[in-house]
Every structure is written in C-alpha cells, then in structure tokens.
Amino acid sequence: MKEDPKGRLPVPADGPALFDALYEDDDAVVRLLRAGVSAESVDGEGASALYLAAVSDRPGAVRLLLAAGADPDRACGPERGDLPLCGAACGGHTEVVEALLSAGARPDLPEQFGFTALRWAVGLGHARTVEALLAYGADPCLPGPEGEPPLLLAARRGSLPTVRALLRHGAGDPPGAVGAALAEALRMLATDLERELRAGLRELYGDAEGDAIVVRRSVVDGGLTLTAELLRDGRPSAGRDQQTGHGAIATVLERELGRRAPYEELARRALRWGDPELDDWRVCVGALRERGDEETRRAARAWCAAPDPARRALGAAVLAGRPTG
C-alpha cells in the first residue's frame, strides 16, 4: 500500500505492483488485493494477472486471484487470444490447471487458432495434466485445429501415460481412432527421432557457421525423452524435445484392436533403447510373456544365448515371472 500525499490514509496500490507481487510471494498478492487492486488487472501488453500466474506455475497466486473474482475463462493478451487454462496446460502445470477447473474454467474452451488445453497438454506429453483435464470433463475425442484426434497426437508424441489416460476416458470409441493412432506409432517407430529433431531445429533457425546441436536423453514418466538444443556461440538458443515410447504405445494399441505383433517385432521394440526401466521394454516383455506359446519360449531361449547382453537380458526376462505391462 501507498500513502496519500498528506501521509494519512492508505491508498490502494496500482495494478503494476500486482504483477511484481506474482513473482514474490503469495502474501504480497494478498496485501495488494486487500488494498483494492483489481484481480482482473492487465499489464501493458494486455496479459491478465491470472494468465501470468498460470503460465508461471504459481498455484497459490492463481487461487488468490480466483477467490478475488478473476474470471478463469477470460481471454487476454495483445489479441485477446490467450486463456489461463491453456497457458497452464502448455507448461504442464497440473496444480494450476486443477485450480482453474475447480473455479469453473471450461476444459474445452478454445483459445486463438483453435487450440484447447487438452490439445496443448497432449501435444507436449504432459500426462498428469491430460489426466486432470479429462477428469474435469475435457472431450477425449475433440480434434485439434488441424483435425487430428488427441489419441493420434499422443501416439505421435510418444507418451504412453497420455495414451493410456485417453483410452481410459473413451478416446478409442470413434471408429478408426485406435487404428489411426497405431499407424502413427508405427510410423514414428520407423523414424530416426534424433535426426528429425536436428533437422527440425535447422529448418526453423538455420544453420549458421559455428552453430552446434546437442542431444540429451532423460527418463520422464517411464519413457525416454530426447531433447535437442541449438547452441550459438556456445550458448543455448533454441530447443525441441520428443518422447520415445512408440514401441510400448504400438503394443498397447494392438492389444486394444485384438492384434498380436510377431515375437521378433516385439523384441525389436523392447531392445530399441536397451533399458529395462523404460516402458518400451516393460510393455513389450509383458506382451511376449502373455503369448505363452512354444514358439515364443523357444525364441526367448535362443535370445538367452545371444552375444548381445541386452538380448540375453530380454530372453531371461521373457522366460521369468508372470506377464506384466
């Protein structure tokens, strides 16, 4: 709060102070709202305080603004095309998404160019956010602005938890939806993902002398994520990432359709990244165990004698234990 020119009565602070408070602490937000600052304040570019709190993953500030009257569905930004729910979903800020939905945000409300919160979360592989949106009634079959259903987009992204969440909520009901998603997962299985990431960065940002692209691998939600980063003068300039659970996704979708891949194909999927902790390995090993036929057991015994340590481990995993995945 400020004081009036005579130093006697407190005067409500102005809107800009609220935007500073969003990046400080929730107590600062409380003080400003109590002083009379509008919860619907916007900055010089038209972005609302609620939107900025949502994209910055500040669930406490989001709840305070909502309680003070901020409209969870109010579009903002230079062209009034940005929604708080979409901004939070884009970042995978699940707690913020749940706060907005609890306050009445419409889960399928599209922002500019037709993107919904679910479209953002599915396309970026934010499985927990996808689950939250579906739990609050987001349509699991609603196509994105280019007409692609969420299940196909999840298969392309390579996030097995996202695919499973969509299937649990009915995304496989439209005729052909599972088949189309399976075809996309198989296409991605045949793609050199690292090369695609590198090519995508060069296409978007050029290939100037001295540029370098590095690719990192990390395990996220049971799957491997590849992150390509463009370095200019040794400094990060841009990046893209891709989840890689396409082998597990194809196997799960085949099960939905009542299909069974050849055992050698399942082995290839399991060995794609060679890590028993990944979904590709676990799901494909589970499918191989479920087959239970002599042909598969004979192949597994042969794998146990292979020179490749990963294939030997695969054979042992198939022959041991009960079906998983």
Tokens describing residue 183: 């075809």
- Strand 223-232's sheet: what is its strand order? 212-220, 223-232, 235-243
Q: Select from 122, 284, 96 the least CA-distant residue to 189.
A: 284
pLDDT for 137 beyond 70 = yes
pLDDT in the model for residue 321: 63
Model pTM score: 0.91
Residues 149-166 have a mean pLDDT of 98
324 band by pLDDT with thresholds 50, 70 and 90: very low
Q: Select from 143, 99, 104 the least CA-distant residue to 122.
A: 143
